Structure 1
Amino acid sequence: MIDAARPSQSFCLIRHGETTANADGFIAGITDVPLTALGRDQARALSELPWPEEIAVFASPLSRAQRTAELAFPGRDVQLHPGLRERDWGVFEGRPLGEQPARENTPGQGESWPDMLVRVQTAITEICAGAEGMLPVLVCHSGIIRAARMLWTTGDVGQRPPNATPLLFQRAGNKTLEKNL
């Protein structure tokens, strides 16, 4: 865990539903790719979960996250936040996942890992500070969830989070714990 200012409250992160890039095994990053039929079904299934009445829904500006949020939370206002977008993998966008460079390496024309950590820390702390007592539910990307883990839980990025699975980052004293919602 790095020494990062912690969000003022607990929050929930959800990786978007399955996309064509996920199904085909290539790096999407900031490339805008659609949800698959399975991804749309995964997003709709989220609407069946017992959500607290008082939630504030945020999403990455990429269409896969927006569409997941719309299907998961029909009739609710979804606020877009640019800080929730996936990492820009630069010259690796569109390449097979097996060619993805190590996280610590900055891809040509892409975003560095330290810059992404700062962006994620800023976005999530801002969102939590403005949530006015509601649980912030952020529909985002694998990289955002991994950055949050690095910043506030184990200090490790862990395994790629599954699509459309709510993960609660819960404040517990001076720690933040990650658990399935």
Structure 2
Amino acid sequence: MMNDDTAQQPTRILLIRHGQSVANAGGTPPDHITNPLTELGHAQAKAFADGFSCEPTVFLISPYTRAQQTSVPLRQRYPEVPIEEWPIYEFNYLEPGRLKNTSEEQQMPHILKFWKQDDPAHSDGPGAESFSVFLGRVRDVIKRLTQLKSDGCIVVFTHGFFMQAVRILLLFPTATDQQLISNFRRFHFVHFIENLEAVELEAVNGQLRMVGQQHLTTFTLQGESSHA
């Protein structure tokens, strides 16, 4: 995958949200990690792989079941491509015990309470990430991505909130964690990422930038007149 001859050429990176999961469909998975794909989710992953047109050079995959399963059809199409598991799993903002065998509808009081607190340092309990810890994880991944080089494309199987965090951090690189948490959920719904939707990035000269995401520039942080 790595080639010094391409050092000055942009590296294409595709962030892919997993297919429809049991939780996405309103079901009750055992927990947020082992939340498998539905039949539709598997079909979405197969259709995505069948229509994939870029030559992958590495697969970066979340450790969570739904992302792993989503990657399988494309990995089967390109069995020689190396696989790396990265910490690109979903934002775990609720204490895991609250999530066991519950649907999103049942979790909604806890979800709304978390976001209403509007506190980037708040942790919901053991095993839960604060928003600032989550952003730190995403920032670390962004730094790692900027160092990658590829003649084809790097395919990243990940999750909706993780992808949104990448986008909002690239849009507003000087924003505080407080500004970001105050605007994150609104950004998420305004620019919602569907199952198997791709966000394209380029890494060039140690910088990561979005490709074809001009519509996002209309979003402004509350209290700011324009994006950074």
TM-score range, shorter chain: 0.7 to 0.9
Letter matched to residue 17 of structure 1: G
Contact persistence 1:14–1:165 (CA under 8 A):
yes
Correspondence for 1:51: 53
Task: Tell me how large the CA RMSD over aligned residues is.
Answer: 3.1
SS of residue matched to 2:59? strand
Cα offset, 1:145, TM superposition:
0.5
- Aligned residue pairs total 172
TM-aligned CA distance change 1:153 to 1:86, over 3 Å: same
Which of 4, 15, 25 is 1:23 aligned to? 25
Native 8 Å contact 2:22 2:29 kept in 1:
no
Alignment of 1:30-45 (within 5 A): 30-45=32-47
Please give the alpha-carbon distance, in whole angstroms, between the structure 1 residues aligned to 2:144 and 2:204: 20
TM-score, length of structure 1 as denominator length: 0.78
Per chain length, whose mean CA-contact separation is higher, i.e. which structure has more relative contact order (CA < 8 Å, sep 6+)?
1
In the superposition, the TM-score normalised over structure 2's length comes to: 0.63
Q: Output the CA distance in 1 between the equivalents of 2:148 and 2:30.
A: 30
The secondary structure found in structure 2 opposite 1:137 is strand
Q: Unmatched 5+ residue regions in structure 2? A: 1-9, 174-183, 214-228
- Secondary structure of 1:139's aligned partner: strand
Q: Percent of counterpart pairs with the same letter? A: 22
CA 1:79 to 1:32, structure 2 compared with 1: closer, same or farther past 3 Å?
same
Gaps of 5+ in 1: 1-7
Deviation of the 1:134 alpha carbon: 4.2
Counterpart CA distance in 2 for 1:10 and 1:115 is: 27
Q: Secondary structure at the match of 2:14?
A: strand
Structure 2 counterpart SS, 1:163: coil
Could you say which structure has the higher helix fraction?
Answer: 2
Matched, 1:88 2:92: yes
2:155 to 118, 121, 137: 137
